[in-house]
Chain A
Amino acid sequence: MNWDVVLWGILPYVMVAILVGGLVWRYRYDQFGWTTRSSQLYESRLLRIGSPLFHFGILVVIVGHVIGLVIPKAWTEAVGVSEEMYHVVALGLGSVAGIATLVGVGILVYRRRTTGPVFAATTKNDKTMYVVLVAAILAGLSTTLISVFGPHEEVTYRDTVSPWFRSLFWFQPDIASMAEASFAFKLHTLIGMALFIIWPFTRLVHAFTAPVQYLFRPYIVYRSRDGRPVPTSSGRRGWAPIGTPDRERDRGRRRGRSDAGSTTRR
């Protein structure tokens, strides 16, 4: 029971604190690092298939999560959607989107591993992120598959995970409901929370600046000359000498190099 309190009563709030705090911190202090870090320049044949597959897949998955978690069972039943109907649609759409996401991320990981320049540009941070991301997708997809092919459950996630999720917003976490959920759902939820915890510190942050405002802004942007001074030290990011591999960070590299002696061409 203690563990249930920690995992389903405390961890979600810790996760939100880290997610929001991390995003605010990064937005304020690391605008320069806030980018998609696109590798399309290196390779675009596999990217062209993998990236849209993954991104569109995950967008549908997100919508599915919102619907499944936010809308109470009573509401859908009130408008005449039977349990059966709901599940056919949810699982159908969910598995298609989930498999598209998984195949997409699979292509992207394969591309990352096999294309020399892309692999060279992959940081440890990226690798960690990919592990958690793929684990979350796999766990999520397995919950879907278990509910299709596995033993029929009287109590579905709509009676366990969803009420708990909603209760979090009233600061009265319904720990008991979540404790009822099956292992697969618990695992998926935990990995999901892990993903949100690392989110602000990985390249995934680009999702939070999805350029929706582009649809509404004027084409031509005028801006007055900035009065703010810019430090002119050689320590500015993005100013590492030629020959610095992508995965090395500027600062670490500089220190390392000054120890090892100059190896770059002059």
Chain B
Amino acid sequence: MRVMAQMGMVMNLDKCIGCHTCSVTCKQAWTNRAGTEYVWFNNVETRPGQGYPRRYEDQEQWRGGWTLNKRGNLKLRTGSRLKRLLTIFSSPVQPKLADYYEPWTYDYRTLTDAPLGDDFPVARPKSLITGEDTKITWSANWDDDLGGVAELGHLDPVVEKVRRESEDKIKFQFEQTFMFYLPRICEHCLNPSCMASCPSGAIYKREEDGIVLVDQDRCRGWRQCITGCPYKKIYFNHRTGKAEKCTLCYPRLEVGLPTVCSETCVGRLRYLGLFLYDADKVTEAAATPDEQDLYEAQLELMLDPNDPEVIAAAREQGIEDEWMDAARRSPVYALAKTYRVALPLHPEYRTMPMVWYIPPLSPIVDLLSEQGHDAENAGTLFGAIEALRIPVEYLAELFTAGDADIVSTVLGKLAAMRAFMRDVALGNEPDESIAEHVGMTGAEIHEMYRLLAIAKYEERYVIPTAHYEQAHELEELGCSLDFDGGPYELDASGPFGEASGRPAPVAVETFHALRDRQTSDGAAAGDDLRGRVNLLNWDGNGAPRGLFPAKRPAEDDPEGGAGR
């Protein structure tokens, strides 16, 4: 047994209101730069819908993920290594920009610069790729809130599949429509196919926390990973010619902060914590013959942090006690394995994704209440889960490779929690039989309720910090290449520049800012930022110093305000 730790995430889809705050804050933090205009490390999809990039789930077309060969071994869906090297000169199934969208801005300048005339000046859309006028035809969430679903709904690959299997039962008539949101980040898989596709070996999984990263120095832009990832969560930076992906905000995690998307989530639906898994068994589990057994196989990989054998093996592997403690308190382990309510997204891709989802009960609750039923009555809910096959089958295609029974069971637990806790809230005698109906006890339901509904900050995010004390000697070395004229020469750094002196290493800087933030009532700024603004640490608590230019005294500059 080779015990390894994996930082995982669980998203409770019932709570997602589709506000896109996670996408926007992620973009502001990580992909707000040239070359990544179309890149959304985090995006929120309305389901049913095509997703981003369009129809990425159709692996017949995009050939992402793994499949089994005749002997039952794992192979990449794109084919053998040799075949991929031979097709490297023009990647056969890489999505084009049109499959994402052409990013644009508006010519705002015309609004102020246009000469006086009879017509109102308009800000025309300009392509961010060519700089020319452009026509906006698609975006990362064009079909948000089922927009255009009557015309485009059939293009959802999951709808296609469910329809094929259930003979056109899904109708996009207004009254029959169900809808939910699916926020997506990189899955930080245990068996990542992007990594297996990378000819340079630039994509790697961190031993300590399982975060999958692209080494920007070793990536050579062969773009095989983009095809390899079935979730299409590796993007090509067309300016630098390198692949980029979600980093699970590792600089934040290392100092104990949740990811930007989690921190800013309005619905507080994200959970972060550790899984322990047996790295030696991953390949075997991913090669499980029946797709519908993959969920169970993945769950089997997750080790119980209370098991003495696991604890001993973990100690042998050098996993810190602090991390073991975090693993025992891990909310993601509790939701995925203890309560078994969190499911992996598309286990049939065989990548063993580590971002799990609690399927939404809301489509069913909504339908019931629209029809005038009591949507919190246990009997009604249990009956509806059985009766309303369409949402259940759709969810099953997303989370269990089509096994509707697993989804029904999970939804049953959520329904039981709803019904059970209503009695508690109303001061009635709680009905233990409801809990028994889904194989739980009242106490367990209480605990699950606390985790899902109360969801305190420190219970949602159990993040052990990186042990940098070992690497401390290295930290102050700095980079030997950032001398004047060197390749990493830093603009305006030097004794007279605005950010004078050597830059602080990111971990140190984040650490100091975190301490500052935790101990001060006002805005976290800190003198050690030396003229720069570290938005990664900004909690919205006032404005960090240096974010806005200082107001000039005795002069009210209209341009120096918040707009700049």
Residues of A within 8 A of B (CB): 29-32, 34-44, 47-48, 51-52, 54-56, 116-117, 120-121, 206, 209, 211-215, 217, 219-225, 227-246, 251, 254, 262-263, 265-266
Instruction: A123 to B433: give the CA distance in the assembly, Å.
Output: 72
Chain A residues lying within 8 Å of B509, measured Cβ to Cβ, are 232
Task: Pick the interface stretch among B239-247, B337-345, B410-418, B440-448.
Answer: B239-247
Return the chain B residue nearest A246 by Cβ: B239
The reply to whether A42 and B97 contact each other, CB–CB distance below 8 Å, is yes
The reply to whether B132 and A116 contact each other, CB–CB distance below 8 Å, is yes
Chain B residues lying within 8 Å of A37, measured Cβ to Cβ, are 221, 241
Instruction: A239 to B237: give the CA distance in the assembly, Å.
Output: 11
Chain B residues lying within 8 Å of A211, measured Cβ to Cβ, are 85, 88, 199-200, 220, 222
The reply to whether A214 and B486 contact each other, CB–CB distance below 8 Å, is no
Contact bitstring B187-201, A, C-beta under 8 A = 1, else 0: 000011001101111
Interface residues in B17-33 by Cβ distance below 8 A to A read 32-33
Chain B residues lying within 8 Å of A116, measured Cβ to Cβ, are 129-130, 132
Instruction: A241 to B33: give the CA distance in the assembly, Å.
Output: 4
Known: A229-B478, A229-B479. A244 touches B239 (CB 8 A): yes
Chain A residues lying within 8 Å of B486, measured Cβ to Cβ, are 29
Known: A120-B129, A223-B207. A36 touches B33 (CB 8 A): no
A-B contact pairs, 16 of them (CB 8 A): A34-B217, A37-B241, A38-B221, A38-B241, A40-B94, A51-B90, A120-B129, A121-B238, A214-B81, A214-B199, A215-B81, A220-B205, A221-B205, A225-B208, A228-B479, A233-B493
Task: Pick the interface stretch among B169-177, B381-389, B500-508.
Answer: B500-508
Least distance between B279 CB and chain A CB atoms (Å): 8
Q: How many positions in chain B have a CB within 8 Å of any CB in the partner chain?
A: 91
Return the chain B residue nearest A45 by Cβ: B96
Return the chain B residue nearest A220 by Cβ: B195
The reply to whether B90 and A44 contact each other, CB–CB distance below 8 Å, is yes
Among B108, B131, B204, B466, point to the contact of A223 (Cβ < 8 A): B204
Among B91, B204, B237, B489, point to the contact of A221 (Cβ < 8 A): B204
Chain A residues lying within 8 Å of B223, measured Cβ to Cβ, are 38, 40
Known: A219-B196, A225-B208. A36 touches B201 (CB 8 A): no
Chain A residues lying within 8 Å of B201, measured Cβ to Cβ, are 213-214, 217, 221
Q: In the complex, given contacts A44-B90, A232-B506, A243-B105, what are 10 additional A-B residue pairs having Cβ atoms less than 8 angstroms apart?
A: A34-B220, A41-B96, A220-B195, A230-B479, A231-B482, A231-B503, A232-B509, A238-B237, A239-B33, A241-B32
Among A117, A251, A263, the most chain B Cβ lie within 10 Å of the Cβ of A117
Main secondary structure of the interface of B (DSSP, over half): loop
The reply to whether A232 and B504 contact each other, CB–CB distance below 8 Å, is yes
Known: A38-B223, A224-B207, A265-B105. A238 touches B35 (CB 8 A): yes
Known: A117-B129, A229-B507. A240 touches B33 (CB 8 A): yes
Instruction: A231 to B502: give the CA distance in the assembly, Å.
Output: 8
The reply to whether A233 and B131 contact each other, CB–CB distance below 8 Å, is no
The reply to whether B532 and A38 contact each other, CB–CB distance below 8 Å, is no
Return the chain A residue nearest B474 by Cβ: A227
The reply to whether B238 and A245 contact each other, CB–CB distance below 8 Å, is no
Known: A38-B223, A41-B96, A235-B489. A240 touches B34 (CB 8 A): yes
Known: A56-B89, A238-B33, A266-B563. A35 touches B241 (CB 8 A): yes
Least distance between A23 CB and chain B CB atoms (Å): 14
The reply to whether B34 and A241 contact each other, CB–CB distance below 8 Å, is yes
Instruction: A134 to B278: give the CA distance in the assembly, Å.
Output: 54
Chain A residues lying within 8 Å of B132, measured Cβ to Cβ, are 116
Return the chain B residue nearest A30 by Cβ: B487
Among B91, B108, B471, B492, point to the contact of A227 (Cβ < 8 A): B471
Least distance between A129 CB and chain B CB atoms (Å): 15
* Interface assignment of B334: CB less than 8 Å from any CB of chain A: no
Known: A35-B242, A231-B488. A220 touches B217 (CB 8 A): no
Instruction: A151 to B468: give the CA distance in the assembly, Å.
Output: 74
Instruction: A40 to B192: give the CA distance in the assembly, Å.
Output: 23
Known: A223-B206, A230-B506. A242 touches B220 (CB 8 A): no
Chain A residues lying within 8 Å of B282, measured Cβ to Cβ, are 220
Chain B residues lying within 8 Å of A217, measured Cβ to Cβ, are 201
Known: A219-B195, A232-B532, A246-B239. A40 touches B82 (CB 8 A): no
* Interface assignment of B475: CB less than 8 Å from any CB of chain A: yes
Chain A residues lying within 8 Å of B299, measured Cβ to Cβ, are none
Instruction: A263 to B356: give the CA distance in the assembly, Å.
Output: 42
Among A217, A232, A234, the most chain B Cβ lie within 10 Å of the Cβ of A232
The reply to whether B474 and A41 contact each other, CB–CB distance below 8 Å, is no
Among A217, A227, A228, A244, the most chain B Cβ lie within 10 Å of the Cβ of A227
Chain B residues lying within 8 Å of A206, measured Cβ to Cβ, are 220-221
Known: A44-B94, A227-B475, A265-B105. A52 touches B506 (CB 8 A): no
Instruction: A228 to B238: give the CA distance in the assembly, Å.
Output: 27
Known: A224-B206, A245-B131, A266-B564. A230 touches B505 (CB 8 A): yes
Among B96, B237, B478, point to the contact of A44 (Cβ < 8 A): B96
Among A212, A225, A251, point to the contact of B491 (Cβ < 8 A): A251
Least distance between A18 CB and chain B CB atoms (Å): 18
The reply to whether B131 and A120 contact each other, CB–CB distance below 8 Å, is yes
Contact bitstring B213-235, A, C-beta under 8 A = 1, else 0: 00011111111000000000000
Instruction: A115 to B490: give the CA distance in the assembly, Å.
Output: 35
Chain B residues lying within 8 Å of A234, measured Cβ to Cβ, are 491, 532
* Interface assignment of B281: CB less than 8 Å from any CB of chain A: no
* Interface assignment of B275: CB less than 8 Å from any CB of chain A: no
Return the chain A residue nearest B475 by Cβ: A229
Least distance between B155 CB and chain A CB atoms (Å): 21
The reply to whether B478 and A238 contact each other, CB–CB distance below 8 Å, is no
* Interface assignment of B203: CB less than 8 Å from any CB of chain A: yes
Least distance between B64 CB and chain A CB atoms (Å): 15
The reply to whether B240 and A38 contact each other, CB–CB distance below 8 Å, is no
Return the chain B residue nearest A240 by Cβ: B34
* Interface assignment of B236: CB less than 8 Å from any CB of chain A: yes
Instruction: A223 to B35: give the CA distance in the assembly, Å.
Output: 27
Chain A residues lying within 8 Å of B207, measured Cβ to Cβ, are 222-225
* Interface assignment of B58: CB less than 8 Å from any CB of chain A: no
Chain A residues lying within 8 Å of B238, measured Cβ to Cβ, are 39, 41-42, 121, 246
* Interface assignment of B145: CB less than 8 Å from any CB of chain A: no
Least distance between A265 CB and chain B CB atoms (Å): 5
Instruction: A217 to B201: give the CA distance in the assembly, Å.
Output: 8
* Interface assignment of B499: CB less than 8 Å from any CB of chain A: yes
Chain B residues lying within 8 Å of A263, measured Cβ to Cβ, are 109
The reply to whether B241 and A36 contact each other, CB–CB distance below 8 Å, is yes
Instruction: A1 to B128: give the CA distance in the assembly, Å.
Output: 56
